[in-house]
Amino acid sequence: MAFIANFAAYSEKMEILLAEKVRAALTYLYNVQVDRNEIQVEKTKKDIRGDYTVVVFPLLKYSGKSPNQMAGELGSHLLTITEYLASFEVIGGFLNLAIKETFWKEFFTGNLHNEQFGFKPLNSRRCCVIEYSSPNTNKPLHLGHIRNNLLGWSIAEILKANGKSIVKISLINDRGIHICKSMLAWQKWGHGETPDNTGIKGDHLIGKYYVMFDKEHKKQIEELVHIGFTEEDAYNQAQLMLEAKEMLKKWEDAEDDVIELWRLMNSWVLDGFNETYKRLGIDFDKVNHESVTYLQGKEIVKEGLESGVFFKKSDGSVWVDLSEDGLDEKLLLRADGTSVYITQDLGTAQRRHDEFFPEKLLYVVGNEQIYHFNVLRLIMKKLGRDWYDKIHHLSYGMVELPHGRMKSREGTVVDADDLMDEMYQTALKTTRELGKISDFEDPELHELFDMVSMAALKYYILKVDPKKNMMFNPEESIDFDGNTGPFIQYTYARIRSVLRKAEKPDEDIRDTFAWENITLTPKETGLLKCLYDFPAVVENAGANLSPALIANYSYDLARTFNHYYQDTPIFKGVEPGLAEFRMALSRFTGKVLSKSMRLLGIKLPEKM
């Protein structure tokens, strides 16, 4: 008889199941009702016998007994009311519980052919809108954008796996003074250069002129400072900056020649972005453009002025005073009537609320914008938008390089395209040196090198907690023996190789076995425990918006399987029933690896 008839119940953590049993035991033994949050159940440390440990010390107040005595009483009663509990042991006031082998076997057979294992069906009527990427059309995507895109895309997939309806959106920042800088520089020094007549990818070409503007601007600043200007005045009064501001004013006034140039140069950049997105495996359900949403933002500013929430200064600029809320005054419209970032974000948030009526508005944006999103929420609250608390800033840390932070204006960024090229060459070199490609044809080799390079890049970035800054090291990311994407790929390829050698198709692997003839080895039990954790990991990753939990689980599972594989023959010289079980266990491990890595956007090769 199965311990749990509905195997979907295995998506719950064992810790939760045991905590409920402990709660019932406390009521029976001591006639108390204990809040679930007071009961601590955790995995038993590796050097101690048992699977799960109950921390007894916080519960002593309910029994008035010594830690060991109370732990013993709880353990004895738990054995009588918990059908899947095999034994217990008390060590130093901690209650260590061992789960019956039959439980792990029935969990396995109940999920071997469960294609939805670990994933929840759609269970949300309202969607979550998640914005990521959101590049400026004055430069190519760089390493920082890669982290943004990978985080946003992966979080969207993890939320889908948790039953959420998701709308993935990119906001193209295609207007503003920064865009005018590239346009002005190209007008002055471009000499008619285009992506077609230079062979340069469009976003790289425009980025070249953004850097050029900055260099020439700095020269002018130095000249003005030399004759007595302050740094701030020199920055704003330099001739190039004045011309860029004038171009922005002409753009917002929709002057034909400026709009025509803007459309042309933006088209070059967007074509370049799409090439990069395709290579990264990034997509969106919808694309918004700041050049449209800022207009709605201006209408909201007008509304705020009329209601008295905003105010106008003597120079005509529009502000909101947030000092009573612990912030400060925030500019909403410049004196010349041109908008700023917060203007378009007001319009964008309103547009998304009106279009989707979402459960949550998620913005994947670096941690340097924490203040900006605090302001956005607070302004919406002051404007009477009762959905202001749906705005959630998923703040992530910066990607740093050994030589310091990247600066787009100075041309010190690591371009996304250049980085992917470098990763490809490193994957090619490393894989050839390891001699893992002797039976590959040339077309297969290119696909393999691309898979390995992208797995190395994505995994290295996603395995780090999003909130933390990180140092990116391309060489460390491609290591077939470490905590890397290629290591997990190699483990999966090993599993597929085992099943090919067994010459037994996946669909022929049965989900019932002669249990009386099979005794699980400690490594098999350990592997089943790791597989059992997958649904809880997916749930936790969704709750914490952290692909790092998926990445590091994938590594633990791959490492656990490799230890099992090294010590355990799968089918050679093994009794048929046991061989079939071990092949099935290998297949199930491969399926879970595939699902977990798919949440990170990483492909797994059939052979390496």
Write down the pLDDT at residue 5: 35
CB neighbour list of residue 128: distance below 8 Å, 6 or more residues apart:
159, 164, 165, 166, 167, 358, 359, 360, 362
Write down the pLDDT at residue 9: 41
- At 105-116, the pLDDT tens digits run 989 988 988 999
For the chain, the structural domain boundaries read 11-99, 132-400, 419-598
pTM: 0.90
Q: DSSP states of 146-210 as a string?
A: HHHHHHHHHHHHHHHHTT-EEEEEEEEB--SHHHHHHHHHHHHH-TT--HHHH---HHHHHHHHH
- At 543-588, the pLDDT tens digits run 999 999 999 999 999 999 999 999 999 988 888 888 889 999 999 9
Amino acid at 441: E
Question: Who wins on pLDDT, 404 or 108?
Answer: 108
Mean pLDDT of 115-128: 92
The vertex-24 CA angle with 20 and 25, nearest 5°, equals 115
Q: Which CATH superfamily is domain 419-598 in?
A: Isoleucyl-tRNA Synthetase; Domain 1 (1.10.730.10)
- At 317-359, the pLDDT tens digits run 999 999 999 999 999 999 988 889 899 999 999 999 999 999 9
- At 55-88, the pLDDT tens digits run 999 999 999 999 999 999 999 999 999 999 999 9
Residue 55 CA: distances (Å) to CA of 58, 59, 71, 94 = 7, 8, 9, 5
pLDDT band at 432 (very low <50, low <70, confident <90, very high): confident
- At 32-45, the pLDDT tens digits run 999 989 999 999 98
- At 145-189, the pLDDT tens digits run 999 999 999 999 999 999 999 999 999 999 989 999 999 999 999
Q: Which CATH class is domain 11-99?
A: alpha beta
Q: Which CATH class is domain 132-400?
A: alpha beta
Same fold flag, 11-99 and 419-598: no
